[in-house]
Each structure stands twice: as structure tokens, then as C-alpha cells.
Amino acid sequence: MTERSRDRKGDEELSGSMEENLLTVLFHYDKAGRQVAAKIDPTMFTGPYRTVAERGLAYWKKYNHAPKAHAFDIFDGKGGKTETYARIVRHMATLAPQANREYILDQLNEFHRQQAMKSAILKSAETLERGGEDAAAAALDILRPLMTATTSTTTRVLTSKAVADFDSREIEWLWYPFIPAGMVTILFGDGAVGKSTVALDLAARITKGLPLPRFGDEAEVRARKGSVVILSKEEDFGLIIKPRLEAAGADVTRIHTLGYAGTDGDRDFNVIDRLDTTMGEVEQLIETLGDVRLLIIDPITDFTGKTDIYRDDAVRAFLSPLTRVAAKYGAAFVVILHLNKKSESGARHRVMGSVAFPNVSRSSILIAKAPDDEDRRYMVQEKANLTATKRTVAFRLRNVRGQPRIAWEQDWQTVDVNEVLTAKGGPTKNKQAAELLRELLADGPKPATEVQDSAERLGIGASTLKAAKKVVGVRSTKSAEEWWWSLPKRVR
């Protein structure tokens, strides 16, 4: 007989899996854990789980929040049983990122409902057994509240559903075609290329409902006005983030972060340092604000806690609550990542950590320096699951009151994402096109068709040649029904 079966006294204890689920919520989530703490009793648990429940409830009574990372401290000094409790705590930590708190609370409510039903039936039976003139009416009075509660209680039932019965919905966008609403987007690149500045530029536009950057002949679209949540450990909010947001024109009253306040004002505010145990609090903040359009996590590797970011299954489990919350509230989650050192790999495998990061995202965007212009940046879609084509745009960083600010170029660009990443290894098509233009036009104007034919023989496409024309400053003039290209005087 196992320790668990020896310890059971009847039908009032929870099932084994339910014990683990409830304790996971109790130990790792503040909002849902508070509901669990109010509804459970240690006697409902068995074996070592009973002691874990006792310690967890005592922690809640003293501190009024979940133990989370302090869970191990609760069981110090338990002698030979320490490893038993440590094993349970470790297991709860692995369950926490995937915990479906709504379902677990439904389980707990169903357990209480069943216990209440059992108690009421026994009590009504005893009333009938005692007899008397009003026994039947009294027994019915005992059962009536239970019958009302039963008809109003909903529980989850596993069932099938025909695809035809689902409502068709259109994809909503925070910024078309780059960042979908209600989904996770990856923004990655080397350090100091402008990843965070791009995210803050977008945040500023959202807080005031300003026009989004537009390219080509697209019509102007305004950002849907709302709040923004920023989680960042790399940059100080008072020293770096707030001044940059103000330079971008943000309404900083609509931008929030989440952490722990100290006693020394804003300099003693510590942003949360892991999402694997605090996603419940992040969701609560989003729910409380009510109009969050964008969540920025910069960089996400600062918030992964004990998650092994190089294991595909671990990263997917870590990202699962993020994707669920993003979808639930329709907010775009922009996750910022650095590059690894695998310079020979393709773009998707240059993302720091497991390839699961870009694979789970619906859009994956590279920010990189233009190979032929040190001050210019490309924003290149490496992955675009929701659109027919991958798009590229360009921008420059301008200085506004001592802070970097994005200046977007208005034309679509044509570059190869892998070529941008490996530009240090040799000339790119853009560089080749620019050099070809300077060489062919050095002696004076030439027919455009002649230059285009030369470019085609070298494998340089029309869009790449067009982009190089802009970089070099080539002028086009029409003479005798034919277009001629020439270099600006300063180049010649």
C-alpha cells in the first residue's frame, strides 16, 4: 500500500493530479492562488502533500501572496523529508508555466459542489428517516439550494466540434504587415541596432493614437489608442526608457511596468525578473488596465527564470502562457532577442536560444545595419505566417534632445535577410549594384536599358538596382523617348 493510499480517510480528499494542480496554483500565482487558499483545507490533501499545503497556506496567511521562488525556503530544516518536499516543489515549478488556472479553479469548485451535494443528500435522508409531518418538505428544503446551484454550475466537458460551427474571424493587426494583434512577434538583432528604439517608437504612437509608419502608396492608418506594458531589465526606466519615450512623443501616463517597490522611490523599483512564475500577475495588470494594445519584453532572455532557453520543449512550455494571454486580451506581445554567434547560420537560427522562439511567433523581424550605409537600418521580416510576402523597410536613427528617435524611410526595400546578416563576409547584392552604377556611369550618362542589362547579367534584380539607385543618387532624365541614368556631379 502506498503512502498516499494509507493516508486517505474517505472520499473527501482530492485526487492526486488535482492535489498537484491546486498546490501549483497556490505556490505560483497570486490572483488564482488567493482563490485556492480561501477554499482548501490541509485535510483535503494526503501524505507529504498535506504538509506542503499547510506550509503554503501559512505563507499566504503571513505574506498574502504566493511563495513562488521562495517555495524552497519554506521547507528548510525538515530533516530527512527535505528531499521529498524539494521534489514536489521542483515538480510544481515545471507545471506552473503550463497551468490552466481557470480549469484548475473549475476543478476545485466542482469538488466543493460534489461534497456539498453529498452532505445535503445525507442530511435530507436523515430528515426523512426521522419522519414527522413535515419531513418531506424539510428534506426538499435542504436539497433545493443544491438543485439551483447545480443547474447554474458549468463544468468543462471534453467534446468534438465541427469546423463549420466555428465563427470565421479576420486577423487583427497592431501594425500591418509586421505585428499582428493577439499574437507573439519576435524582434531580433545585434546590440545597438535600434530594436528597443523601434519598439518604443511604436509604443509612443499607440499611447496617442498617432499615424503608424506607412510605406509605398499605402493609405495612412492610425494606431489604435491604448496602454502599453514594458518589461525591461537592461535599461533603467527613469534614466533611459522614459526620456526615450518622451523624445518619441509618448503619453507616458499610458505606459506601465510591473515589479516590486522598495523604500527609495523609483530608484528602488525592481522590475519582475521572471515570467515563468509571474504570468498571472502580468495578466492581472493587463485585465486591470483594460486597454493594453502592446506588451514589450526586452529582452525576453532576462525573464525566463530557470527555463532552459536552448531546449525546444522548455521554450514552447514557457511561451505557452504568453500566447494564451496575448490571444485572450487581443494584445500584441513583442519579444526582443539578441543574436547568437553562429555567423554562418541562416537568420532563423541566429536568434539567441532555441529556434522555438521564432517558430512559435507569427511574425519574426530582424533589425540590422545596412551593409552599404553605416547609419542606415533595415527592418526585415524573416517570418511572415499571416501575409503573402515578407516585407522590408528602412530607417535611420536621429538625435532628438540627446535621445535616439526613428526616422522612417517611405519606400519598401528589397534585401535578403540572410545576406544582411552575412554582409561582413563579402559584398552584398546591394553593394554590387551600387558599385556597378558608379562604374558604368563614371564616364557620363548611359541608357537605363543598358545599365539594367548589365545588372541582369550579374544576377542583380530590378528592385535591388532601384534601391542602389537611391543610395548612389542616380538621376533619371528622358531624352528622345528613352530614359538615361547619370551620377550626381558630386559623385563624378
For the chain, give the mean pLDDT.
84
- Mean pLDDT of all residues in 325-338: 96
Cβ neighbourhood burial of 179 (10 Å; 0-12, 13-18, 19+):
buried
Cβ neighbourhood burial of 155 (10 Å; 0-12, 13-18, 19+):
exposed
Tell me the pLDDT tens digit for each residue of 432-479. Answer: 788 888 888 888 888 999 888 888 877 788 878 888 888 888 999 988
Query: Over 70: is that where the pLDDT of 146 sits?
Result: no
pLDDT, position 164? 94
Q: What's the grid cell of residue 330?
A: 487581443
- Mean pLDDT of all residues in 272-292: 90
- For the chain, which residues make up each domain, given as ranges? 3-99, 103-152, 173-422, 427-486
pTM of the shown model: 0.61
pLDDT, position 119? 80
**Alpha-carbon span 207 to 199, nearest angstrom:** 13
pLDDT, position 108? 81
Tell me the pLDDT tens digit for each residue of 371-421. Answer: 778 789 999 999 998 999 999 999 999 988 889 999 999 999 988 787 777
* 405 beta partners: 398
- Mean pLDDT of all residues in 194-198: 95
Can you spell out the DSSP letters for 157-213? ------GGGSPP-PPPEEETTTEETTSEEEEEESTTSSHHHHHHHHHHHHHHTPBPP
| Contact of 53 with 40, CB cutoff 8 Å | yes
pLDDT, position 150? 47
Q: Are strands 332-338 and 292-298 parallel, antiparallel or unpaired?
A: parallel
Work out the pLDDT band at 285, boundaries 50, 70, 90: very high
Tell me the pLDDT tens digit for each residue of 217-263. Answer: 899 999 999 999 999 988 899 999 999 999 999 999 999 999 988 76
Query: From the centroid of its chain, how far is CA 490?
Result: 49
Pick the CATH number of 173-422 from 1.10.10.10, 2.40.128.110, 3.50.50.60, 3.40.50.300: 3.40.50.300
Q: What's the grid cell of residue 111?
A: 469538488
275 phi, psi to nearest 5 deg = -105, -15
Contacts of 348 (CB under 8 A, 6+ apart): 355, 358, 359, 364, 382, 383
Q: Name the CATH topology of 427-486.
A: Arc Repressor Mutant, subunit A (1.10.10)
pLDDT, position 72? 73
Q: What is the DSSP letter of 302?
A: G
